Amino acid sequence: MVIEKVELRYVSLPLRTPFETSTARETHKDCILVTVTSEGQRGWGEAPVMLEPLYSAETVETAWHVLRDFLIPLAKVSPEPAAFAKACSIFKGQQMAKAGLEAALWDLQCERRGASLSSLLGGTRKEVEVGVSVGLEPEVAEILRKVREYRERGYQRIKLKIRPGQDRDLLAGFRSEHDDLPLQADANCAYGAADIPHLMSFDEFDMVLLEQPFPGEDLVSHIALQKKMNTSICLDESVSSVSLARQAIALKACRNINIKQARIGGLSAAVEVHDLCRDQGIDVWCGGLLETGIGRFHNLALASLPGFCLPGDISESGRYFEQDILQEPIVLNENRNIDVPDFAGGVDRLVCVESLKRYTQRLDVF
């Protein structure tokens, strides 16, 4: 296979409502879409970076630079997705940039082979269970109102964003209204080691898990909390590679891992982490980064692998966008799950050219 052309697009889609975590407030989904072309066929990928280095060290500008100057030249030499993933490991970090281009190569592979991405990755599910992530608001009542709406829509698990000063009252309010609904809480690194006694008190809320209470590099505090807490600790920002997943499991820093293929460095690495966790008895689920329909399409294929035993953060595209990049929105099916795309080929046939033009802020063609 010869890569004849690569296109980078910086797109910015307005969100229906702002989405706030302990570290950031987003009003738009900014990301880089990567398109690779070979013999008239195109593959699409998404690097869901932010404008500011608030979730990871990567931004739109840094990822653009790394893709342009290092990864695109490498893809010309190693165009097969697995070979590309192995070759680009010589470059430190840059996980989302790597993931965006690798996803495009996988998507192109689907076109060339006439196969679905789920089948190429080893997926076994035709539909996946999904939950919804609810961002922070100034008032607990507004968050609980949104929770009621999502439950009526049919979401089977709720994840609440929390931070110091906005945690116990919110969790208690949720449980007073929904004593039977699976609950997760996500701190996005907002707490410190001194907060361990406070976090231990969350056991009373009967949560599925508590996600990433401490900064990503602080495995020591996660180990200490998991030893004392009945609730399962889930790692997100701490696991940015296969080797870090292996370390976290060996050190008993968690009982769950949120697998985001963009954070880990691509679909190949995500499958490897999935396999590792399955072998070690660690429950995993597929996280999201407010991706457009392109990234969401690829996340669904990943979540179809057999080890994903908890509802993912994939959600309907209408949860975030008035108008997505895809022609048809991703929606809940009659079972309140989301169908895994199973047609032969990649996402190219679904891309809405009008939306692409409308939301593209910058385009470079190589």
The C-alpha atoms of residue 27 and residue 17 are separated, in whole angstroms, by 7
pLDDT in the model for residue 319: 87
Active-site choice (29, 98, 159, 260):
260
Q: What is the pLDDT along the chain (366 residues), one digit of tens a residue?
A: 899 999 999 999 999 999 999 888 999 999 999 999 999 999 999 999 999 999 999 999 999 999 999 999 999 999 999 999 999 999 999 999 999 999 999 999 999 999 999 999 999 999 999 999 999 999 999 999 999 999 999 998 999 999 999 999 999 999 999 999 999 999 999 999 999 999 999 999 999 999 999 999 999 999 999 999 999 999 999 999 999 999 999 999 999 999 999 999 999 999 999 999 999 999 999 999 999 999 999 999 999 999 999 999 998 998 899 899 999 899 999 999 999 999 999 999 999 999 999 999 999 999
User: How many whole angstroms from its chain centre is CA 127?
Assistant: 17
Q: Are strands 25-38 and 41-47 parallel, antiparallel or unpaired?
A: antiparallel
Residue 37 amino acid letter: T
Tokens read off for 219: 């495995």
**Residue 161 among the catalytic residues:** yes
pLDDT in the model for residue 156: 87
pLDDT in the model for residue 220: 98
3-state secondary structure the chain: CCCCEEEEEEEEEEEEEEEECCCCEEEEEEEEEEEEEECCEEEEEEECCECCCCCCCCEHHHHHHHHHHHHHHHHHHCCCHHHHHHHHHHCCCCHHHHHHHHHHHHHHHHHHHCCCHHHHHCCCCCEECECEEECCCCCHHHHHHHHHHHHHHCCCCEEEECECCECHHHHHHHHHHCCCCCEEEECCCCCCHHHHHHHHHHHHHCCCEEECCCCCCCHHHHHHHHHHCCCCEEECCCCCCHHHHHHHHHCCCCCEEEECHHHHCCHHHHHHHHHHHHHHCCEEEECCCCCCHHHHHHHHHHHCCCCECCCECCCCHHHCECCCCECCCCCCCCCCCEECCCCCCCCHHHECHHHHHHHEEEEEEC
pTM: 0.95
CA distances to 8, 97, 103, 126 from 341, rounded to whole Å, are 24, 24, 15, 8
| Residue 341 backbone dihedrals phi, psi, to 5 degrees | -55, 125
| Residues contacting 242, CB < 8 A, separation 6+ | 264, 269, 272, 273, 276
pLDDT in the model for residue 235: 98
Active-site choice (161, 227, 252, 357):
161
**Residue 86 among the catalytic residues:** no
